Structure 1
Amino acid sequence: MFGKVWSACVHGIDAQLIEVEADISSGLPQVNLVGLPDSAVRESAERVRAAIRNCNYTFPMERVTINLAPADVRKEGSSFDLAIAIGLLVSSGQLEAKGFERTLLIGELALDGSLRPVPGILAMVHHAREKGLEKIVLPAANLHEALLVEGLKAYPLSHLNDIRQVSGDLINGINYSQHIINPAPGSISTASSEPDYADVNGQQHVKRAMVIAASGLHNIILVGPPGTGKTMLIRRLPGILPDMPDSEALEVTKIYSVAGKLNGRAELLRRRPFRSPHHTISGGGLIGGGAIPKPGEVSLAHRGVLFLDELPEFSRSVLEVLRQPLEDRSVTIGRARAVFTFPSHFVLAASMNPCPCGYYGAETPSHSCTCSPLKIGNYRSKISGPLLDRIDLHVEVPRMDYASLTSKEANLSSAAMKEQVEKAHAIQARRFHNTGIRFNGELSGSSLRRHCALKPESEDLLRLTFDALGLSVRSHDRILKIARTIADLSGSRDIETEHLAEAIQYRSLDKKQEG
């Protein structure tokens, strides 16, 4: 007796369909589970045995072989329980095979037969639709996540005892999902709770740098003494980034689904992620990892902002792992049996003090710097030159005077800044149409030379700056990309000298290193 059903597993943030084949033959009662299962999958045999018996079905007392195909792909997790149980019931004649044709089966079984939710449903359902499957049976707790993907008939299951009714509905073509009422849409944060730049007095040049960073998706670091508003300014950065289109929203939501962080949400994530890990985080926590690799903070920040507060407080080894995601916009994690790739296209926003005590160059009558040159050098050396090269904008945040702090003058709001950003994004969309590039921050090589050509007088200015500051080639390219974004914000087709001059001033840490 033989039966075959479909299930799926997740590799990285992508899914793969798995054929679950069940064969019952004469022999001593035993269950053989083959097809490169991990320990969680191997243990499913006992969960399935108990669930089938406790739901008044008959577990075959013969030789049972379960094959998970393709056999050369490592199978991980507990999402195969339901498919294995249904495969056994079909092969033993207790359920009709007809009802489960072109049907995806996902879910973890409890010993009493109830179904528990599993992570990664969105990725599995999306992949199943692309492969032509038409129906999905899944835990009821995962239903709203599955409904984010249109084109599949969804059948929620709370208990294995309900499978006969569901099987009949599958055969008759009854679509449960047509009768499901989605809860009110949610978002990462509502408009009323979103912090606004209108609440921040002064620091106009820092707000200008934030607009530039958001317009070209440039990395940015703010340097200044404590209490100048660095964290407050960065936390408002997501509010001026445009909402994500459907393709990006699905991509980001899949990452959160695989990481188990959707928390029952019933719609795609539209607001760009903002992640702010503590400085004690490990390298694995930052870029992802584990025996079964899961997305790290750089992937959870995909299409959004990764905020590293007090950058030198992070260990140097942790900061150095940022080089690959900043350059390649993806993270590759190798394990003995597989290599996993997670997307990590984010804006790095960081802050730091000028020295350990925080008051170097910003002394006041009540606060003066107590750090020796050696301590300051050691503090700044925690951030390597190659990492600083990958941060486009270096912005000094000075202490505000009392007049600026108490000014009644209306501040530029996040909505007004977002409007500027959206106009710059529209210009870039037209410029880079069908090129595979979307934002100025992604320019490199020949595309950088083509779209960031300088006039002779601007070329002279950049050459003098390059020689005077001893800039690296990467810093040179960052200046060009920033200048391109500044020109877009002004609506200029060409990069003018004033655009380049403004871009040069955003490399303040290069100047200090040289000095």
Structure 2
Amino acid sequence: MTTTVCRAASVALTGLEGTAIMVETAVSQQLPGMAIIGLPDTALAEAKLRVRTATAQVGLPLSDRFLTINLSPASLPKHGSGFDLAIALSALAASKHLPPHQLPGVAHLGELGLDGGLRRPAGLLPAVVAARSLGFDRVMVPASSGAEAALVPGIEVIAVPDLVSAVAWYRGELDAAALPGAAETALPPDEAPLDMSDIVGQPEAVEALVVAAAGRHHLSLLGPPGAGKTLLASRLPTILPDLTSDESLTASSISALGGVPLTRLVRRPPFEAPHHTASAVSIIGGGDSGGVRPGAITRACHGVLFLDEAPEFPRTVLDALRQPLESGRIEIHRARLRTVLPARVQLVLASNPCPCGNAGSPDTAQDCRCSPSTRVKYLQRISGPLNDRIDLRLTVRRVASVLQHESGTSGPSSIELRRRIAEARARAAERLRNTPWTVNSEVPGTWLRGRDARLTRADTSVLDRALARGSLTLRGYDRVLRVAWTIADLAGNRRPGRSEVARALVLRGGDAR
């Protein structure tokens, strides 16, 4: 006797990567029962109790024979309760309560309550994004999460409040009303919004932030306590342009991994500022049998990762940043887990010149109490390879007290600077329109030194001398060129010249002679 196998589709997330899961249910001539196979975790293995109780509560009892439920591919570990809806519908189809032919074409995402109601599973938004990329045209989600799922364009959302409604839709008894477009709920305004005009007496630092924002360059701030390093770094996101559609969807998906439901897409660049006691896993990310946990560098994707008191971070944590700063992604490898998380961030480091903070500061009455060897060891906590990946190195001085009392001299606002930066990025995007890059920091050195973008020897002579002296690596050479192109974009110039290259070298902390 041939046993009919009923299938319903779902999506398994490993970080932001999705895999199509086919829930297969077959009825066998054994005593009543249910078994879930295919490497389920504890929460997923408990689905058999939730499904059997919920179906009985809503008047749709399962078959009085043994149900074998397989989660295919069986070799992939599955986590969480988001498969409940697919398991329940597959089991109900095998029990002759609904036609099975449409189930494989719809991705089902939802946790089942004992009363038959549906709840939002963790990571709903990235799961819907993954379902679209896997080729699904429809996704069925709890009604409470319909607006969140509708934020993803290009996929039809079927929002049902409970299991009875889901069964009715497949029977053709329920015409699910089309959800409105991805209407976004406006966030209440901040009580005290941050603005670049809050910065007093640091025009050079503000201009360096503009250059960093326009090209998405990494930045290092060195100065004594109270000089305004943290203030400057916290204002950097306010002058960054809004995220593009793809960047917004990526940032929103990362935010949704935390389990918080979203009512709107993330439009502004995120800002992460972990404490210097943070572990490597909390910064880089990690994973185990319970799933993938993105770190601060992933949560700050397309935004700013700010490490205040950078030399106080463990050396292993700082050095772990070197590879993702180059590749823009984090590869997590564990015994039974491998995934890639996005990590395209703008890094900002803030450091004191020594443990007491007064070394080389003529603007303070306090003398440095640190020995020369202590100062050297303190700054060497930021390794040479990591320091070589920093594009702009700015020394911040304390503001003279007289500047704090001047009136009518407020600096440019964040809106004004953001407009300048958006225009500079538009020039870069136009220049790079036939390439896979959009901002200057992404452009490889081979292209910068290639036929189309190569500068004259007269323009790069200062760089060539620095490279010949050994004061600049080839990576540093390319990074100075990227900054020079950004300076030219801000000035509205078609190409950088000798002055832009020299200024870029000075901003990197080199000698422009």
Question: Which residue identity is paired with 1:390?
Answer: R
Q: Does residue 495 in structure 1 map to residue 501 in structure 2? A: no
Question: Retained in 2: the 8 A contact 1:9–1:15?
Answer: yes
Structure 1 residues 400-409 or 232-241, which shifts more? 400-409
> What is the aligned partner in structure 2 of residue 436 from structure 1?
436
Q: Does residue 285 in structure 1 map to residue 286 in structure 2? A: no
> What is the aligned partner in structure 2 of residue 199 from structure 1?
198
Q: Does residue 406 in structure 1 map to residue 409 in structure 2? A: no
Distance 1:360 1:219 in 2: 24
> What is the aligned partner in structure 2 of residue 137 from structure 1?
140
> What is the aligned partner in structure 1 of residue 298 from structure 2?
299
Question: Which residue identity is paired with 1:225?
Answer: P
Question: Which residue identity is paired with 1:281?
Answer: A
Distance 2:364 2:349 in 1: 28
Structure 1 residues 317-326 or 366-375, which shifts more? 366-375
Shift of 1:19: 1.2
Q: CA RMSD in A?
A: 2.4
Distance 1:463 1:445 in 2: 14
CA distance 1:309–1:40, shift in 2 (3 Å):
same
Name the SS of the counterpart of 1:293 in structure 2: strand
CA deviation profile, 1:176-220 (whole Å, cap 9, x unmatched): 343x69765336x85875411112111111111101101111000
Shift of 1:401: 1.1
Name the SS of the counterpart of 1:97 in structure 2: coil
Question: Retained in 2: the 8 A contact 1:483–1:499?
Answer: yes
Name the SS of the counterpart of 2:52 in structure 1: helix
Name the SS of the counterpart of 1:208 in structure 2: helix
Distance 2:169 2:368 in 1: 72
Name the SS of the counterpart of 1:137 in structure 2: strand
Question: Retained in 2: the 8 A contact 1:153–1:176?
Answer: no
> What is the aligned partner in structure 1 of residue 480 from structure 2?
479
CA deviation profile, 1:235-268 (whole Å, cap 9, x unmatched): 11111111112121112212222332xx332221
Distance 1:301 1:197 in 2: 20
The correspondence for 2:129, drawn from 126, 133, 147, is: 126
CA distance 1:135–1:430, shift in 2 (3 Å):
closer
Question: Which residue identity is paired with 2:439?
Answer: F
% same residue: 37
Q: Does residue 416 in structure 1 map to residue 416 in structure 2? A: yes
Distance 1:206 1:224 in 2: 12
The correspondence for 1:63, drawn from 66, 80, 85, is: 66
Structure 1 residues 115-124 or 54-63, which shifts more? 54-63
CA distance 1:68–1:365, shift in 2 (3 Å):
closer
Shift of 1:108: 1.6
Q: What pairs up with 1:96-495 in 2 under 5 angstroms?
A: 96-97=99-100, 100=103, 102-168=105-171, 171=172, 174-178=175-179, 185-186=185-186, 190=189, 193-260=192-259, 263-291=260-288, 292-364=291-363, 366-408=365-407, 409-450=409-450, 453-468=454-469, 470-495=471-496
Question: Which residue identity is paired with 1:97?
Answer: P
Name the SS of the counterpart of 1:249 in structure 2: helix
Question: Retained in 2: the 8 A contact 1:154–1:176?
Answer: no
> What is the aligned partner in structure 2 of residue 93 from structure 1?
96
Question: Retained in 2: the 8 A contact 1:198–1:414?
Answer: yes
Distance 1:207 1:393 in 2: 12
Question: Retained in 2: the 8 A contact 1:201–1:407?
Answer: no
Question: Which residue identity is paired with 2:406?
Answer: S
Question: Retained in 1: the 8 A contact 2:169–2:175?
Answer: no
Question: Which residue identity is paired with 1:466?
Answer: L
> What is the aligned partner in structure 1 of residue 506 from structure 2?
505
Question: Retained in 1: the 8 A contact 2:305–2:346?
Answer: yes
CA deviation profile, 1:139-168 (whole Å, cap 9, x unmatched): 233222101123444333444354444445
Shift of 1:385: 0.4
Question: Retained in 2: the 8 A contact 1:394–1:507?
Answer: yes
Distance 2:199 2:390 in 1: 24
Question: Retained in 1: the 8 A contact 2:16–2:130?
Answer: no
Distance 1:372 1:277 in 2: 29
CA distance 1:405–1:465, shift in 2 (3 Å):
farther
Distance 2:368 2:196 in 1: 30
Structure 1 residues 382-391 or 96-105, which shifts more? 96-105
Q: What pairs up with 1:39-58 in 2 under 5 angstroms?
A: 39-58=42-61
Distance 2:397 2:83 in 1: 57
Structure 1 residues 437-446 or 422-431, which shifts more? 437-446
Distance 2:134 2:463 in 1: 52
Question: Which residue identity is paired with 1:496?
Answer: G
CA distance 1:372–1:229, shift in 2 (3 Å):
same
Distance 1:104 1:288 in 2: 28
Distance 1:13 1:77 in 2: 15
Distance 1:181 1:502 in 2: 48
Shift of 1:15: 1.8
CA distance 1:183–1:470, shift in 2 (3 Å):
closer
Greater fraction helix: 1
CA deviation profile, 1:118-148 (whole Å, cap 9, x unmatched): 1222222233344554433222332221011
Q: What pairs up with 1:19-34 in 2 under 5 angstroms?
A: 19-34=22-37
Question: Which residue identity is paired with 2:497?
Answer: E
TM-score normalised by structure 1 residue count: 0.91
Distance 1:392 1:258 in 2: 31
Shift of 1:317: 0.7
Distance 1:150 1:464 in 2: 52
CA deviation profile, 1:64-87 (whole Å, cap 9, x unmatched): 111112333332221111111111
CA deviation profile, 1:451-479 (whole Å, cap 9, x unmatched): 65333333332233335562222222221
Q: How many pairs does the alignment contain? A: 504
Structure 1 residues 101-110 or 311-320, which shifts more? 101-110
